[in-house]
Structure 1
């Protein structure tokens, strides 16, 4: 199974690390890490992923397309037509088109979510509608051959769900155990409906400059599909 993972500068590292940690247990899995050019791509944490393929050398028919999300760099990537065209080409032939966090906005801008339900980070989720997608608040959303995880940590849940889709529930159960995935959130404020008003207001203030709607609107004006 060939998984095409798209990279771009300063994306959120855990969006990629979570899913591929679950997926690398699958027999025969092969990752292609794709960027505008091969070599290191630095993420939001300073951790670098190495792009093994550029847009021209990437496989034309991957089994899975996966796009991570992030903050402002992801919204800036919405303006990168070369990246969006590469995602669109790969997604047109893939068996699965997937994302985590605001990566779903990139799928939408590439014309791959029109008429599909999709998850996204809670702050940016409503903006999926500008690309013809149907925002869904679930932590993991599967609609036909589109699969998406919500914000950041949802990538682990998403990765495990997809492992079960591909290998059956016993495979998902096994990987969950091997990864010792048994979360116990210490503060129970991980979704806006759970957070107190002060925490939610502070979070919105932090996220506003990192996730500017104006860049979504600009990308939607060039909407594909």
Structure 2
């Protein structure tokens, strides 16, 4: 009898909860799977919204995972230079079947040296932050490159999780989960990507996020320098 799947999500302060909770809802419905929420300690983790999350397992007590996943959010700017988080990802990656992320979580994989030579997706605002880690940008909603599976921005997390379930188990299981959660997206506007958003809306968002983008680029520059120095 096959051992149950071990699926783990790294938590961190200021993560975007939908990056996490969308995929968790999908993976929690996989028969026999165990889903872990991971952090350094068992303590409340504030997200970038009103929700607070509680880890289920610490890094030290985490079993070997079949799937390790990093969600995104503003807090990624801190964990790309957090040696404890990066060391955990490196250790788990040695035995994991799939190394994955949603949104800007791919930058943490990059900072751990896990995307060098791979294609990867990320949030549109961070597309220029993958190259410093040796990754090639993919603008696909879900990017699969060998055992690296990365989702684009925020809502791509559900697509990512359903895709991975179809790989881990089979398509019918993924389709049954899609039906169970009634996932039939029909957005009211076609403004979810910079390529389709009205120019005025895109300009407004670019102005709003410019300071945050610069902070992220600075963090990525430090992380990539350290990665190269340790290579």
Which bin holds the TM-score, normalised by the shorter protein? over 0.9
Q: CA deviation at 1:107?
A: 0.3
Shift in Å at residue 126 of structure 1?
2.1
Distance in 1, Cα, partners of 2:212 & 2:76: 9
Q: Determine which of 3, 10, 15 is the counterpart of 2:14.
A: 10
Partner of 1:186: 188
Unaligned runs of 5+ in 1: none
- What pairs with 1:1-225 in structure 2 (closer than 5 Å)? 1-59=5-63, 61-71=64-74, 73-211=75-213, 212=215, 213-223=217-227
The TM-score, its normalising length taken from structure 2, stands at 0.93
- Pairwise CA distance, 1:82: 1.2
**DSSP 3-state at the match of 1:123:** helix
Q: Contact 2:27–2:35 at 8 Å: present in 1 too?
A: no
Aligned pair count reads 223
Point out the more displaced range, 130-139 or 84-93. Answer: 84-93
d(CA) in 2 for partners of 1:19 and 1:125?
Answer: 22
Q: 1:46 Cα deviation (Å)? A: 2.5
- Aligned equivalents of 1:181 and 1:149: distance in 2? 17
Q: Is the 8 A contact 1:101 1:120 kept in 2?
A: yes
Q: Distance in 1 between matches of 2:133 and 2:14?
A: 23
Taking the aligned partners of 1:205 and 1:93, their CA distance within structure 2 comes to: 42
When the two chains are superposed, the root-mean-square deviation of aligned CA atoms in Å is: 1.2
- Structure 1: distance between partners of 2:204 and 2:94: 40
> C-alpha offsets along residues 186-217 of structure 1, whole Å, 9 cap, x if unaligned?
11010111012111111112222223311111
**Unmatched 5+ residue regions in structure 2?**
none
CA offset at residue 14 of structure 1?
0.4
Deviation at 1:164, TM superposition (A): 1.1
Structure with the higher helix share, 1 or 2: 2
| Cα contact 1:15–1:152 (8 A) shared by 2 | yes
Moved over 4 A (4+): none
Tell me by how many angstroms 1:39 deviates.
2.4
| Residues 137-174 of structure 1, C-alpha deviations (whole Å, 9 max, x = no match) | 00000111000100011111111111111121111111
